[in-house]
Amino acid sequence: MILRKSSLFLLILFATISCSRDNCDSSKDLECTNFDISSENKPIVLPVYMDYQATTPIDPRVLQEMNYVESNVYGNPNSIHKLGKEAMKMVEKSRTQVANVIGARTDEIIFTSGATESNNLALKGFVETYAKKTGRRHIITSMTEHACIQETCKKLESNSDIDITYLCPKSNGLIDLKELEEAITPNTLMISIMGVNNEIGVIQDLEAIGKIAKKHGVFFHTDCAQAFGKIPLNVDRMHIDMMSISGHKIYGPKGIGALYIRQHSGGAGLINGKSEKIKLNPQINGGGQEHGIRSGTLAVPLIVGFGKASELMKIDYKKDEKHIKRLSEKLKAGLREISGSRLNGDEKNRYAGNLNFSFEGVDSLNLVQNLGDKLALSTGSACGASHFNEAVGSYVIKALGINTAKIGGAVRIGIGRFTTDREVDYAIKIIKDEVERERKEKR
Ligand code: PLP
Q: What is the pLDDT of residues 322-369, one digit of tens each?
A: 999 999 999 999 999 999 999 999 999 999 999 999 999 999 999 999
Q: Is the pLDDT of residue 55 over 80?
A: yes
pLDDT of 402 reads 86
Task: Tell me the mean pLDDT in the region 33-48.
Answer: 68
CA of 326 to the centre of ligand 1 (A): 26
**Which atom of ligand 1 is nearest to 116's Cα?**
16
Using 50, 70 and 90 to split pLDDT, how confident is the model at 388? very low
73 Cβ contact partners less than 8 Å away, ≥ 6 residues apart:
83, 86, 87, 90, 300, 301, 304
Rounded CA-CA distance 21/173 in Å is: 37
3-state helix, strand, coil in the chain (%, to 5): 40, 15, 45
Neighbours of 138 (CB within 10 A): 19
Going from the Cα of 429 to the center of ligand 1, the distance in angstroms, rounded, reads 30
pLDDT at residue 408, as a whole number: 82
Q: Give which of 60, 54, 62, 68 is closest to 17, Cα–Cα.
A: 60
Calculate ∠ Cα 28-29-32, nearest 5°.
80
Catalytic residues: 383
Q: How far apart are CA 5 and CA 200, in angstroms?
A: 38
Contacts made by residues 8-11, CB under 8 angstroms, sequence distance 24+:
8/37, 9/60, 10/39, 10/60, 10/61, 11/37, 11/38, 11/39, 11/42
What band does 396 get if pLDDT is binned at 50, 70 and 90? very high
**Structure confidence at residue 43 (pLDDT):** 87
β 188-192/219-223 pair status:
parallel
pLDDT tops 80 at residue 92:
yes
Distance 354 CA to ligand 1 centre (A): 15
User: Given pLDDT bands bounded at 50, 70 and 90, which one contains residue 381?
Assistant: low
Domains 5-58+317-442 and 62-313 share a fold: no
- How far is the centre of ligand 1, averaged over its atoms, from the C-alpha of 345 (Å)? 19
User: Is the CB of residue 115 below 6 angstroms from any atom belonging to ligand 1?
Assistant: yes
Q: Measured between alpha carbons, how far is 151 from 147 in angstroms, rounded to an integer?
A: 6
Percent of the chain with pLDDT over 90: 83
pLDDT bracket for residue 407 (50, 70, 90): confident
Q: How far apart are CA 419 and CA 42, in angstroms?
A: 10
Q: pLDDT at position 132, please?
A: 95
- How far apart are the C-alpha atoms of 226 and 245, rounded to whole Å? 8
Give the integer Cα–Cα distance in Å for 291 and 295.
9
Q: Is the dihedral of CA 42, 47, 51, 56 positive or negative?
A: negative
What whole-number distance in Å separates Cα of residue 149 and Cα of residue 197?
Answer: 12
Task: Give the chain's end-to-end CA distance (angstroms, integer).
Answer: 52
Query: How far apart are the CA of 5 and the centre of ligand 1, in A?
Result: 34
pLDDT band at 382 (very low <50, low <70, confident <90, very high): low
Q: Which of the residue ranges 133-137, 213-217, 300-304, 398-402 would you say has the lowest mean pLDDT?
A: 398-402
Q: What angle do CA 332, 363, 57 make, to 5 degrees?
A: 55
CATH of domain 62-313: 3.40.640.10
Q: Give percent of the chain above pLDDT 70.
A: 88
Tens of pLDDT, residue by residue over 297-316, are: 999 999 999 999 999 999 99
Q: Which of 142, 146, 354 to mutate to test the pocket of ligand 1 (most atoms within 8 A of CB)?
A: 146
**146 pocket-lining for ligand 1 (C-beta < 6 Å):** yes
Evaluate: CB of 310 within 6 angstroms of ligand 1. Answer: no
Residue 387 clears pLDDT 70, i.e. is over it? no
Residue 5: pLDDT above 50?
no
DSSP code at position 222: E
> Could you name the CATH architecture of 5-58+317-442?
Alpha-Beta Complex (3.90)
Ligand 1 mutation target, pool 246, 250, 251, 356, most atoms within 8 A of CB: 246
Ligand 1 pocket check for 380: Cβ under 6 Å: no
CA–CA separation, 295 vs 112, rounded Å? 9
pLDDT in tens, 234-253: 999 999 999 999 999 999 99
Whether 18 has a pLDDT exceeding 80, the answer reads: no
> Measuring from atom 4 of ligand 1, which residue has the nearest CA?
225
**In whole angstroms, what separates CA 277 from the centre of its chain?**
27
**What is the arithmetic mean of pLDDT over 118-141?**
97
Contact (Cβ atoms closer than 8 angstroms) between residue 100 and residue 259: no
Of 35-39, 249-253, 271-275, where does the model show the most confidence? 249-253
Would you state the pLDDT for residue 19? Answer: 35
Q: Whose CA is closest to atom 15 on ligand 1?
A: 114
For the ranges 16-25, 277-286, 408-417, the lowest mean pLDDT is seen at 16-25
Q: Which of 352, 319, 429, 376 is nearest to 39 (CA)?
A: 319
Residue 215 main-chain phi, psi, to 5 deg: -55, -35
Report CA Rg, the chain. 22
Which of residues 409 and 186 earns the better pLDDT score?
186
User: How high does pLDDT run on average in the chain?
Assistant: 90
Q: Is 56 in the pocket of ligand 1 (CB under 6 A)?
A: no
Q: Where are the domains of the chain?
A: 5-58+317-442, 62-313
Distance CA 393, CA 390 (A): 5
Q: How far is the CA of 115 from the centre of ligand 1 (A)?
A: 5
Question: What is the model's pLDDT at position 170?
Answer: 97
